């Protein structure tokens, strides 16, 4: 063990329980992320100056969008984890697939599920798919912020061994001091990306459908790849080749797709014209 480490703030993963019913921080993170994103999205669509002539979702219809995204995130996130991170375990114990309270959600799977939900919502409401994606991309970092904090509280997805002054010894991770990589991800994928997208939205980003979605793809992908250098790879997978992890591999297509969306975004107005 290293001579100087920070004390891990042990927090009961169960916030409160009523007999057999337990309310966990992990579940609350998803609730806070979805409801907080819904409230933030309502605020954004109510500001007509941000959108110009681009058709945007109505405030009332965002209730439906919340439902579509919630189902997409939960189902896609779990299915993605089962397929990408631990297929052997779940093939041997299929009943564990529904045990989401034990942890195990894939962001990339949740993103795919949410994308399907957004597409269905846009088709039903007659709104441009890219415009709805832009709206969701702008609020998603709020959910990522809560989700990574929940990973820290659980704790899970801890970092690699290190001797930095802020290293921590996590429960069930052995006596080795490690990076609090969950907090790195909360900061970069969550807070920093949230601020960047807010600033770009205020400067007219919604007027170029696909632009904010592209920025999210590039920003999240690069942040995730960077943080993976400090995060312990999933034990059942390890390093895929060299120092590459599954998280890095799944993030590369996001960066490439994001760059493509930024380049092809329709120049309906120059970013910065919003008042």
What is residue 135's predicted lDDT score, i.e. its pLDDT?
97
Q: Output the six-digit token pair for 40.
A: 């933030």
pLDDT band at 274 (very low <50, low <70, confident <90, very high): very low
Chain segment 51-103, per-residue pLDDT in tens: 999 999 999 999 999 899 888 888 888 888 888 777 877 777 677 777 665 66
Q: Give yes or no for residue 219 having a pLDDT over 60.
A: yes
Other residues' Cβ atoms within 10 Å of the Cβ of residue 9: 9
Look up residue 152 and give its two tokens: 């820290």
Q: What is the pLDDT of residues 200-210, one digit of tens each?
A: 999 999 999 99
The tens digit of pLDDT for each residue in 125-136 reads: 999 999 999 999
The whole-angstrom separation of Cα 41 and Cα 135 is 7
User: What torsion, rounded to 10 degrees, do the Cα atoms 196, 201, 205, 209 define?
Assistant: 110
Among candidates 229, 119, 143, 265, which has minimal Cα distance to 193? Answer: 143
pLDDT for res 273: 47
pLDDT class of 16 with cuts at 50, 70, 90? confident
Q: What pLDDT shows up at residue 269? A: 44
Q: Quote the pLDDT of residue 266.
A: 63
């Amino acid at each position: 063990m290293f001579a100087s480490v920070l004390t891990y703030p042990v927090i009961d993963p169960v916030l409160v329980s009523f007999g057999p019913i337990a309310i966990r921080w992990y579940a609350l993170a998803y609730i806070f992320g979805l409801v907080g994103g819904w409230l933030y999205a309502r605020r954004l669509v109510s500001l007509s100056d941000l959108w110009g002539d681009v058709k945007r979702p109505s405030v009332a219809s965002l209730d439906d969008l919340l439902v579509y995204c919630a189902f997409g995130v939960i189902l896609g996130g779990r299915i993605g984890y089962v397929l990408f991170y631990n297929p052997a375990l779940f093939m041997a114990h299929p009943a564990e697939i529904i045990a989401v309270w034990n942890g195990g959600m894939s962001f990339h799977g949740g993103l795919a599920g949410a994308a399907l939900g957004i597409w269905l919502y846009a088709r039903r409401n007659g709104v441009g798919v890219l415009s709805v994606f832009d709206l969701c991309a702008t609020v998603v970092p709020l959910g990522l912020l809560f989700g990574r904090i929940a990973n820290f509280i659980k704790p899970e997805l801890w970092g690699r061994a290190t001797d930095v002054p802020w290293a921590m010894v996590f429960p069930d991770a052995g006596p080795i001091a490690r990076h609090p990589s969950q907090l790195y991800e909360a900061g970069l994928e969550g807070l920093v990306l949230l601020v960047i997208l807010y600033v770009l939205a205020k400067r007219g980003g919604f007027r170029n459908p696909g632009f904010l979605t592209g920025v999210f793809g590039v920003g999240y992908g690069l942040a995730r790849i960077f943080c993976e250098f400090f995060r312990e790879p999933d034990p059942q997978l390890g390093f895929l080749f060299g120092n590459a992890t599954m998280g890095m591999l799944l993030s590369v297509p996001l960066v490439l797709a994001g760059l493509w969306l930024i380049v092809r975004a329709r120049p309906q107005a120059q970013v910065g014209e919003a008042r």
